[in-house]
Amino acid sequence: MTQTLTTKVLIIGAGTGGYVAGIRCGQLGLDTVLVDGGDGLGGTCLNVGCIPSKAIIHAASKFETVARAAAGGTLGITAAQPAIDLSQTVAWKDGIVRKLNAGVAGLLKRAKVKVINGWATFSDAKTCTVKTADGDIVISAEHVILATGSEPVELPFLPFGGDVISSTEALSLDTVPGKLVVVGGGYIGLELGIAFRKLGAEVAIVEMADRLLPLYDKALTDPVAKWLEKHGVELHLGAKAGSFENGQLNITTKDGQALKLKADKVLVTVGRRPRTKGWGLENMGVAMAGPFVKIDDRCATSMRNVWAVGDLTGEPMLAHKGSAQGEIVAEIIAGHDKRFDPVTIAAVCFTEPEIVSAGLGPQDVEGRDDVITAVFPLAAIGRALALEAGDDGGFVRVLASKTDHRLLGLQAVGQHVSELSNSFAQMLEMGAVLEDVAGTIHVHPTMGEAFHEASLRALGHAIHI
């Protein structure tokens, strides 16, 4: 039997963009239906992305610390040789996900958002049929928010299945692979590759570009490359992956040589693409911008009262961007005058060491003589040394205008620098100048002192260097 339902707002996708939009709609008194068709409440980020990956990365770092203590001691601490039962680690990770799932469900219920589990297919811009376990539901809405997210890119010659895995399967392995080959040297591949190296796997990385993390400048990525070299990670840069046969991945090196890399698992992380197929986007009449849904600065599509947020709308594909867009769309529907026009969207790579970038980087201001650039090493920060975070080449970098000292860009590389990301974004969003940072008394001892000192250095009077 087919049910029918009419609502003010219909949201497709329960990821960080969709569920935040739903909660905000509920807070604003809008009758709202949220359709969750895949990963579960919280979407990719909560279930098979940001949160579980950081849990595994954290566990891997704990294991590495004990392993170092067993291999001769660290900080005066010695320990017996550790072992890991990855299935128990994954069970712990799954417990975190369940707890957060329940939290999101509770928030949606409190906001009086009706959640429907099922797959939606649109027949026109405002009408969809949701296939659920209890039958079909036809939903009509005044406003539709598309928040379908993204999915891993699959290579035609390396289809997912068996020992060829995406990040989703990598986060649910029950044993540490003896030899892991990662295809793709972007942030996802490096985060997971480094974690599995810490857990004891032999790791090789195959990347088509001539260096890792090609979207970042070399100074930021060099400390990561040094960690990989120090820990015996095999790098094949400028190389192309081929087929996987009989436990071996065929690759072609930069100089054209054919090699076979032994692998228990091949982790393919060559990017993500917007999830645009299988739910009737072609029937909605919205304009596209390449593979993405085209939106304006209100997150409005070309179809009246149809909105789109998150990965579906283009780069950067970051959870916090989707959340911000979802909140703004809810407020626009409620009659508020809002625009999505951030000064910056900070990005973090949870590699070893971590990388943070916000605003303009050196490559963006190359050739300009109106920009001040100042770098302060973490090795000169007491807190960094106390956390063993000052000896990996880490630094904080500030880019500012010579004329008015307004901050243009902020970057950092080093252990624990992800915690500086919000301070970086806040200062840029507020239009701060170097004197604002220099005049803010930073707590001692903290990693944030490096931001203070870098700003002082840009003004010509750093204290601790």
Catalytic residues: 444
Among 294, 185, 279, residue whose Cα is nearest residue 238: 185
| 433 phi and psi angles, rounded to 5 deg | -110, 170
Q: Sheet of 234-237: strands edge to edge?
A: 164-165, 265-268, 179-183, 202-207, 234-237
Task: Return all residues near 348 (Cβ < 8 A) that are at least 6 apart.
Answer: 354, 355, 356, 418, 421
Enumerate the β-bridge partners of residue 398. Answer: 374, 410
Among 399, 402, 380, residue whose Cα is nearest residue 447: 380
Q: CA neighbours within 13 Å on the CB side: how many for 267?
A: 32
**Using CA atoms, how far apart are residues 210 and 389, in angstroms rounded to an integer?**
27
Is 21 within 8 Å of 11 (Cβ atoms)?
A: yes
Task: Return all residues near 20 (Cβ < 8 A) that are at least 6 apart.
Answer: 322, 323, 326, 327
Beta pairing, strands 32-36 & 114-117: parallel
Residue with tokens 């982790």: 267
Task: Return all residues near 295 (Cβ < 8 A) that are at least 6 apart.
Answer: 301, 307, 308, 313
Instruction: Return the structure tokens found at 18.
Output: 């969709």
Instruction: Return the structure tokens found at 420.
Output: 């500086």
**Using CA atoms, how far apart are residues 264 and 177, in angstroms rounded to an integer?**
6
Is 160 within 8 Å of 267 (Cβ atoms)?
A: no
